Amino acid sequence: MTDRIIHYPHPTLRYPSKTVRRVDAPLKQIIAGMFDLMYEHNGVGLAANQVDLPLRIFVANPSGQRGDGEELVCINPELNLPKGRSTDREGCLSLPELHAEVTRPEQVRLSAYDAAGNLVQRPLHGFLARVVQHEFDHLAGILFFDRIDDDQKQMFQPMLRVFEREYAQGQLAGDILPEDELVKRRQQWEQRYA
Ligand code: CO
Protein backbone atom coordinates (compact mmCIF):
# COMPACT_ATOMS: atom_id res chain seq x y z
CA MET A 1 0.00 0.00 0.00
CA THR A 2 1.47 3.27 -1.07
CA ASP A 3 -1.91 5.01 -1.14
CA ARG A 4 -1.76 6.82 2.17
CA ILE A 5 0.66 9.01 4.04
CA ILE A 6 2.13 7.45 7.13
CA HIS A 7 2.53 9.49 10.29
CA TYR A 8 5.23 9.76 12.94
CA PRO A 9 6.31 7.43 14.63
CA HIS A 10 5.87 4.89 11.81
CA PRO A 11 9.30 3.18 11.58
CA THR A 12 9.65 3.62 7.79
CA LEU A 13 9.99 7.37 8.45
CA ARG A 14 13.24 6.60 10.30
CA TYR A 15 14.45 4.00 7.83
CA PRO A 16 17.30 5.05 5.49
CA SER A 17 15.85 4.77 1.98
CA LYS A 18 17.65 2.73 -0.64
CA THR A 19 19.10 3.75 -4.01
CA VAL A 20 16.74 3.01 -6.89
CA ARG A 21 18.17 0.64 -9.51
CA ARG A 22 15.28 0.61 -11.97
CA VAL A 23 12.12 2.55 -12.74
CA ASP A 24 9.25 0.70 -14.37
CA ALA A 25 5.64 1.56 -15.20
CA PRO A 26 4.23 0.49 -11.80
CA LEU A 27 6.82 2.65 -10.02
CA LYS A 28 5.92 5.62 -12.25
CA GLN A 29 2.32 5.01 -11.27
CA ILE A 30 3.26 5.17 -7.60
CA ILE A 31 5.13 8.44 -8.22
CA ALA A 32 2.01 9.88 -9.90
CA GLY A 33 0.02 8.75 -6.86
CA MET A 34 2.48 10.57 -4.59
CA PHE A 35 1.64 13.83 -6.38
CA ASP A 36 -2.09 13.08 -5.91
CA LEU A 37 -1.60 12.56 -2.18
CA MET A 38 0.63 15.61 -1.85
CA TYR A 39 -1.95 17.92 -3.49
CA GLU A 40 -4.83 16.31 -1.63
CA HIS A 41 -3.14 17.16 1.67
CA ASN A 42 -2.01 20.64 0.56
CA GLY A 43 1.65 19.72 0.69
CA VAL A 44 4.57 21.05 -1.34
CA GLY A 45 6.68 17.89 -1.15
CA LEU A 46 6.41 14.20 -0.38
CA ALA A 47 9.11 11.57 0.06
CA ALA A 48 8.58 7.94 -0.93
CA ASN A 49 9.12 6.68 2.61
CA GLN A 50 6.13 8.81 3.65
CA VAL A 51 4.01 6.33 1.68
CA ASP A 52 5.96 3.45 3.21
CA LEU A 53 8.14 2.97 0.13
CA PRO A 54 11.78 2.74 1.28
CA LEU A 55 13.35 4.15 -1.91
CA ARG A 56 15.32 7.32 -2.64
CA ILE A 57 12.57 9.22 -4.42
CA PHE A 58 10.69 12.41 -3.62
CA VAL A 59 8.28 14.69 -5.42
CA ALA A 60 7.76 18.40 -4.93
CA ASN A 61 5.89 21.38 -6.25
CA PRO A 62 6.63 24.62 -4.38
CA SER A 63 3.27 26.09 -5.48
CA GLY A 64 1.35 23.21 -3.88
CA GLN A 65 -1.20 23.51 -6.72
CA ARG A 66 -1.70 21.03 -9.53
CA GLY A 67 -1.22 22.74 -12.88
CA ASP A 68 0.67 25.62 -11.27
CA GLY A 69 4.34 25.99 -10.37
CA GLU A 70 6.83 23.28 -11.19
CA GLU A 71 6.57 19.56 -10.51
CA LEU A 72 9.84 17.92 -9.55
CA VAL A 73 10.49 14.18 -9.44
CA CYS A 74 13.84 13.45 -7.79
CA ILE A 75 15.25 9.93 -7.92
CA ASN A 76 18.54 9.15 -6.14
CA PRO A 77 19.07 12.84 -5.33
CA GLU A 78 22.30 14.35 -4.09
CA LEU A 79 22.72 17.79 -2.58
CA ASN A 80 26.00 19.67 -2.75
CA LEU A 81 27.57 23.10 -2.22
CA PRO A 82 25.38 24.36 0.62
CA LYS A 83 25.63 28.15 1.02
CA GLY A 84 24.21 30.68 3.44
CA ARG A 85 21.63 30.21 6.15
CA SER A 86 17.94 30.86 6.31
CA THR A 87 15.26 30.25 8.93
CA ASP A 88 11.62 29.72 8.07
CA ARG A 89 8.52 27.85 9.19
CA GLU A 90 8.13 24.23 8.14
CA GLY A 91 5.54 21.54 8.51
CA CYS A 92 5.35 17.92 7.37
CA LEU A 93 2.55 15.73 6.04
CA SER A 94 3.72 12.97 8.40
CA LEU A 95 3.21 15.31 11.39
CA PRO A 96 0.00 17.15 10.49
CA GLU A 97 -0.65 20.46 12.23
CA LEU A 98 2.87 20.77 13.65
CA HIS A 99 5.05 23.67 12.58
CA ALA A 100 8.40 25.01 13.64
CA GLU A 101 11.15 27.35 12.55
CA VAL A 102 13.95 25.43 10.87
CA THR A 103 17.36 26.80 9.90
CA ARG A 104 18.96 25.39 6.75
CA PRO A 105 21.42 26.44 4.05
CA GLU A 106 19.78 29.04 1.81
CA GLN A 107 21.26 27.50 -1.37
CA VAL A 108 22.13 23.99 -2.46
CA ARG A 109 22.98 22.29 -5.71
CA LEU A 110 20.62 19.44 -6.61
CA SER A 111 21.61 16.44 -8.74
CA ALA A 112 18.90 13.84 -9.32
CA TYR A 113 17.33 11.66 -11.96
CA ASP A 114 13.84 12.45 -13.17
CA ALA A 115 11.21 9.79 -13.93
CA ALA A 116 12.45 9.54 -17.54
CA GLY A 117 15.99 8.77 -16.34
CA ASN A 118 17.50 12.15 -17.20
CA LEU A 119 20.14 13.54 -14.85
CA VAL A 120 19.02 16.96 -13.66
CA GLN A 121 21.58 19.27 -12.05
CA ARG A 122 20.64 22.73 -10.89
CA PRO A 123 21.28 25.28 -8.19
CA LEU A 124 18.34 25.94 -5.89
CA HIS A 125 17.67 28.75 -3.48
CA GLY A 126 14.88 30.17 -1.38
CA PHE A 127 11.70 28.20 -0.77
CA LEU A 128 12.42 25.46 -3.34
CA ALA A 129 15.84 24.85 -1.74
CA ARG A 130 14.09 24.48 1.62
CA VAL A 131 11.46 22.07 0.31
CA VAL A 132 14.07 19.92 -1.42
CA GLN A 133 16.27 19.80 1.70
CA HIS A 134 13.29 18.79 3.85
CA GLU A 135 12.39 15.95 1.45
CA PHE A 136 16.03 14.93 1.07
CA ASP A 137 16.23 14.62 4.86
CA HIS A 138 13.26 12.24 4.81
CA LEU A 139 15.26 9.81 2.66
CA ALA A 140 17.86 9.57 5.42
CA GLY A 141 15.18 9.10 8.08
CA ILE A 142 15.52 12.68 9.35
CA LEU A 143 12.39 14.61 10.37
CA PHE A 144 12.20 18.39 10.52
CA PHE A 145 11.86 18.49 14.30
CA ASP A 146 15.31 16.86 14.51
CA ARG A 147 16.65 20.20 13.29
CA ILE A 148 14.82 22.61 15.59
CA ASP A 149 16.25 24.45 18.59
CA ASP A 150 15.85 23.23 22.17
CA ASP A 151 13.07 25.68 23.07
CA GLN A 152 10.92 24.49 20.20
CA LYS A 153 11.82 20.87 20.95
CA GLN A 154 10.43 21.28 24.45
CA MET A 155 7.16 22.57 23.02
CA PHE A 156 7.06 19.67 20.58
CA GLN A 157 7.33 16.91 23.18
CA PRO A 158 3.65 16.76 24.28
CA MET A 159 2.51 16.85 20.64
CA LEU A 160 4.86 14.02 19.70
CA ARG A 161 3.41 11.99 22.58
CA VAL A 162 -0.06 12.50 21.04
CA PHE A 163 1.17 11.14 17.70
CA GLU A 164 2.77 8.20 19.50
CA ARG A 165 -0.50 7.39 21.27
CA GLU A 166 -2.43 7.62 18.00
CA TYR A 167 0.05 5.29 16.34
CA ALA A 168 -0.24 2.75 19.17
CA GLN A 169 -4.01 2.91 18.88
CA GLY A 170 -3.78 2.36 15.13
CA GLN A 171 -1.66 -0.72 15.75
CA LEU A 172 -4.17 -2.08 18.25
CA ALA A 173 -7.05 -1.39 15.85
CA GLY A 174 -5.17 -3.23 13.07
CA ASP A 175 -4.95 -0.09 10.87
CA ILE A 176 -1.17 -0.36 11.00
CA LEU A 177 0.64 -3.59 10.19
CA PRO A 178 2.69 -5.25 12.92
CA GLU A 179 6.39 -4.43 12.95
CA ASP A 180 7.55 -7.71 11.37
CA GLU A 181 5.10 -7.25 8.49
CA LEU A 182 6.43 -3.75 7.89
CA VAL A 183 9.97 -5.11 7.77
CA LYS A 184 8.91 -7.78 5.27
CA ARG A 185 7.18 -5.23 3.07
CA ARG A 186 10.21 -2.96 2.98
CA GLN A 187 12.34 -5.94 1.97
CA GLN A 188 9.94 -6.78 -0.86
CA TRP A 189 10.16 -3.24 -2.26
CA GLU A 190 13.93 -3.31 -2.01
CA GLN A 191 14.18 -6.63 -3.82
CA ARG A 192 12.11 -5.17 -6.60
CA TYR A 193 13.67 -1.76 -7.06
CA ALA A 194 16.83 -1.27 -5.01
CO1 CO B 1 8.01 16.04 5.60
- Pairwise CA distance, residues 40 & 28, whole Å: 19
- Pairwise CA distance, residues 159 & 155, whole Å: 8
Mean pLDDT by 10 residues, the chain (194 residues): 93 98 97 98 98 98 95 98 97 96 98 96 97 98 97 94 96 92 97 97
Q: Residues with catalytic annotation? A: 135
- Pairwise CA distance, residues 59 & 116, whole Å: 14
What pLDDT is stored for residue 2 in this prediction? 84
Burial of 22 (0-12, 13-18, 19+ CB in 10 A): exposed
Task: Please identify every residue whose CB atom is under 5 Å from ligand 1, which is an ion.
Answer: 92
What pLDDT is stored for residue 100 in this prediction? 96
CA of 184 to the centre of ligand 1 (A): 24
CA of 144 to the centre of ligand 1 (A): 7
- Pairwise CA distance, residues 189 & 57, whole Å: 13
What pLDDT is stored for residue 173 in this prediction? 94
CA of 134 to the centre of ligand 1 (A): 6
The identity of residue 161, as a single letter, is: R
Query: What is the pTM (predicted TM-score) of this model?
Result: 0.97
CA of 93 to the centre of ligand 1 (A): 5
Question: Which residues fall within 8 angstroms of residue 169, CB to CB, at 6 or more apart?
Answer: none
What pLDDT is stored for residue 1 in this prediction? 73
- Pairwise CA distance, residues 47 & 37, whole Å: 11
CA of 46 to the centre of ligand 1 (A): 6
Using one digit for the tens of pLDDT, what is the confidence trace for 11-44?
999 999 999 999 999 999 999 999 999 999 999 9
What pLDDT is stored for residue 76 in this prediction? 98
CA of 91 to the centre of ligand 1 (A): 7
- Pairwise CA distance, residues 113 & 22, whole Å: 11
